[in-house]
Structure 1
Amino acid sequence: MSASTEHLRRRVAGARVVLWDFDGPICRLFAGHPADHVARAMVDWLAQNGLRGLLREEEIDPSDPHVLLRAVGSRSPESDLIAELEELLTKEELRATASAMPTAYADPLIRTWAAVGARLAVVTNNSPLAVRRYLDSRGLTGCFAPHIYGRTHQLHLLKPDPHSLNRALRAMGSRPEDALMIGDTPTDYDAAVRAGVRFVGYARYPQKEKCLRQAGAETVVTSLEPLLELVRQESSAGRLPG
């Protein structure tokens, strides 16, 4: 067994609870409904409502509308217009679920982990409505329900704040040391560290891996296949709950 595989095995062994980020590890939510179109629609909406001044140019990340939402929310957290902006993003995410692309090996990994006795939760900055719609379409809701913890109107609680992770741990009666998170961004890693949860990064392309490692993530996979194989091996060896 290679050193990297052994490191991954130590992350997986004994994980009674697995916390999943949604967009990235489970699916590519904006695969057919580009995120830059969503970000542009949000900026246009801000301009139409006289709120464009709440956003600096460097805060417009076309690949991640949540960066924009978090930035605006930090400056006007109590505004009804901010709640409307969040609802606009929710509608776009719901629309995106129809063309979302499953992450390779995610479906069998989710089903296998659930089958061997691990408890699964989604902890995400996406709308829980979009998460449920996507999971329903894949027949995966039963692997997670009722543990889906997504975005609320309290935008200051988005990751890297560990709020969604802590909600999941409390609801599932889990100690942080018995849990593992799978995420694909530095904010996922930061939230896991703050919650005291082990972390495995998923990086679909090299820049993602570079960002995760620069943030401090030690264990990063470029495919979920090694995780699937390890879960099967650990279950056969009796080292997973079941």
Structure 2
Amino acid sequence: MTSDTTQTELVTEKIETLRELAARARVVLWDFDGPICRLFAGHSADKVAEDLVDWLESRGLHGLLTEDERRSLDPHVVLRAVDRRHPGSDLVAELEERLTQEELRATASAMPTPYADPLIRTWKAVGSRLAIATNNSPRVVREYLATRGLISCFAPHIYGRTQELDHLKPDPHCLNRALSAMGSAPSAALMIGDTPSDLLAANEAGVAFLGYARNEHKQKLLRDAGATTIVASLEPLLEAVRIQA
């Protein structure tokens, strides 16, 4: 067997897997930042994290974060670290609102993920129900979807960050909220995500998982976390859904 033959068989196998996933998914749970768009494509998430750290330090709260947390360049790491030390506090509420405002600013320069828009519309058209399960603010999700003419594909099923930050993924809370509201069994649902925390939340909720990885680094993170089906583009998934039409 030649290497070309082996590669062809692998591609065929992946296409069949995508068709099976698409056919079984009566409910599709989408992560937002990644599979639907690159929220911070033109508004650096690293800079947002740095600004949150600077804001804390300007209030004399330098000691709230470890050195690793300060250097993480991940706004959610900063937010969750503060919440662990001061859960439910006004400080956490103000920090969460500052992050939400930065996310709202980012929607103006967010970059749609290739093939996401037609995939969402096609999946809706063939009768599947769609929901968002994200660690971003639901206000941000609604703002972005409205600009793309996609909000009717999801509303009212948009489940995002609340001030109960212990419910952020990898906790399955937002997935379970979506399943409960839609009256769906986990076995009838599919989660599309791009991070290990999405995979862990899907596993905990008992939902099948499809990884989206736009580069090799994200693919490695997902594989190392245990993801078995990963796509670098949503195009083959779109073709698999179109077959159902």
TM-score range, shorter chain: over 0.9
* Further displaced range: 64-73 or 143-152: 64-73
Summarize the alignment of residues 81-120 of structure 1 with structure 2, pairs less than 5 Å apart: 81-120=91-130
Q: Matched residues in 1 for 2:46 and 2:64: separation?
A: 19
Provide the residue aligned with 1:185 in structure 2. 195
Matching of residues 181-220 of structure 1 within 5 Å:
181-220=191-230
Q: Quote the residue 1:61 is aligned against.
A: 72
User: What is the DSSP-based 3-state SS (H/G/I as helix, E as strand, rest coil) of the residue aligned with 2:24?
Assistant: coil
The equivalent residue for 1:222 is: 232
2: CA distance between counterparts of 1:165 and 1:52? 34
Distance 2:173 2:139 in 1: 18
Distance in structure 2 (CA, Å) of the matches to 1:218 and 1:75: 36
Deviation string for 1:183-208 (max 9, x for gaps)?
Answer: 00000000000000000000000000
Q: Distance in 2 between matches of 1:155 and 1:211?
A: 23
What corresponds to 1:28 in structure 2? 38
Contact 2:22 / 2:241 at 8 angstroms: preserved in 1? yes
**SS of match in other structure, 2:222:** helix
What is the Cα deviation at residue 53 of structure 1?
1.3
Identity of aligned residues (%): 69
Q: Aligned partners of 2:182 and 2:218: how far apart in 1?
A: 30
Count of aligned pairs: 234
CA contact (8 A) 2:88 2:163 kept: no
What residue number does 1:158 align with?
A: 168
Aligned partner letter, 1:61: S
Q: TM-score, normalised by structure 1?
A: 0.94
Contact 2:36 2:112 in 1 (8 A): yes
Instruction: Let me know the Cα RMSD of the aligned residues.
Output: 1.0
- List runs of 5+ in structure 2 lacking aligned partners: 1-10
User: After superposition, what is the alpha-carbon deviation per residue over 1:97-149, rounded to whole angstroms, capped at 9, x for unaligned?
Assistant: 01100000000000000011100000000000000000000000000000000
- The CA distance in 2 between the partners of 1:52 and 1:170, in whole Å, is 40
User: For 2:197 and 2:19, how far apart are their aligned partners in 1?
Assistant: 23
Q: Residue 45 of structure 1: CA displacement?
A: 1.0
Quote the offset at 1:11 in angstroms.
Answer: 2.0
Residue 209 of structure 1 and its aligned partner are, at CA, apart by: 0.2
